[in-house]
Amino acid sequence: MYRESCSRYTFHLGPAVLWRDPIPLRERDFAVSMTGNYIRISPTQLSEFQGKPDSVVDFIFTRTYDTEDDRQIDIDKTWHGIHFLLTGDPWKGEPPLFNAVMGGKQIGTEDPGYGPPRYLTPDQVRDVAQALSEIHASDLRSRFDPERFAREDIYPNIWDEGEEALDYLMDYYVELVRFFSSAAAAGDAVLLCIM
């Protein structure tokens, strides 16, 4: 029963708050987290991946666990909260802010976690970087409404923790802004996925 609640089907209906349920400790080891992952790639790499799209997932797995790699970022479980703060909608939105978390074009059919990877072109990356640079963390702080986050079932549903939950979002938001700024300055494309 517990493992069934971790299925992709559950994710598409809306993320379940698995770690906050009363799960026996021995089963808690199986809890699944959904983390937002981004990797900067050159336009040449993007072109190569478009020619061999099923090689993308292997590339992602070799990069996402390298914590010393400044060309990748893991925004942990904040992806849905950041998206909601940026767009005001749990799953939809308009570019370029939509592209910061939920956007991009699917590449390949392999699924590294919760849907195939997506990519943003260098032009889209520049647009996202510009849009994010115009939104200060204090602007997003003013949009934070824990009751609305809970009502909309925004993953990871920790919003009753108030200021601590908001600080968690803001720390990763600042990192995401830096990441897109660096990617745009280098003329990079970006791979993104939820794992």
| Residues 20 and 45 reside in one and the same domain | no
Residue 175 sits in a domain of what CATH number? Answer: 3.40.1760.10
pLDDT at residue 126, rounded to an integer: 98
Q: Is 21 a residue whose pLDDT tops 60?
A: no
pTM for the structure as a whole? 0.81
How many domains would you assign to the chain?
Answer: 2
Least confidently predicted of 11-20, 22-31, 40-49, 144-153 = 11-20
| Residues 11 and 101 reside in one and the same domain | no
116-121 long-range contacts, CB within 8 A, separation 24+: 116/193, 117/56, 117/57, 117/60, 117/191, 117/192, 117/193, 118/191, 118/192, 118/193, 119/41, 119/46, 119/49, 119/189, 119/190, 119/191, 119/192, 120/189, 120/190, 120/192, 121/46, 121/189
At 3, is the pLDDT very low, low, confident or very high (cuts 50, 70, 90)? very low
Domain of 18, in residue numbers: 1-32
At 63, is the pLDDT very low, low, confident or very high (cuts 50, 70, 90)? confident
Q: Is 92 a residue whose pLDDT tops 80?
A: yes
